[in-house]
């Protein structure tokens, strides 16, 4: 997993959250040696959230981790991320087979 893939997923996530009236006020992407951390900060919203932290691992098949403080929202975001990662891997496989 590279930073470019993470950035595209985060952009899609921000767009998806915007549809649900949850506006992202700022986004930080920090690249560490073994992981990429994403911190999304929100304005006042219906969900009552202020910060979401997402950790993507660079190597291995470890699933991303999501921290919001609300379990149902964690699962919803994680499910969205996993769908987007699946799309990216399918596109990568079809490009290598051609």
Tell me if the pTM is above 0.75. yes
Instruction: Tell which wins on pLDDT, 39 or 94.
Output: 39
Q: Does the pLDDT value for residue 98 go beyond 60?
A: no
Q: Does the pLDDT value for residue 2 go beyond 90?
A: no
Confidence band for 96, pLDDT divided at 50, 70 and 90: low
The confidence score (pLDDT) of residue 49 equals: 83
What tens digit of pLDDT does each residue of 28-75 get? Answer: 999 999 999 999 999 877 778 889 999 999 987 789 999 998 889 999
Long-range contacts of 64-67 (CB under 8 A, 24+ apart): none
For 7, half-sphere exposure in the C-beta direction (CA atoms, 13 angstrom radius) is 7
């Amino acid at each position: 997993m590279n930073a470019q893939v993470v950035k595209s997923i985060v952009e899609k996530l921000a767009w998806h959250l915007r549809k649900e009236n949850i506006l992202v006020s700022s986004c930080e992407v920090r690249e560490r040696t073994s992981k990429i951390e994403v911190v999304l900060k929100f304005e006042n919203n219906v969900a009552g959230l202020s910060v979401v932290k997402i950790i993507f691992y660079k190597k291995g098949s470890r699933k991303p981790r999501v921290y919001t403080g609300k379990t149902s929202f964690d699962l919803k975001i994680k499910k969205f991320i996993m769908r987007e990662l699946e799309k990216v891997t399918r596109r990568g496989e079809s490009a290598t087979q051609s």
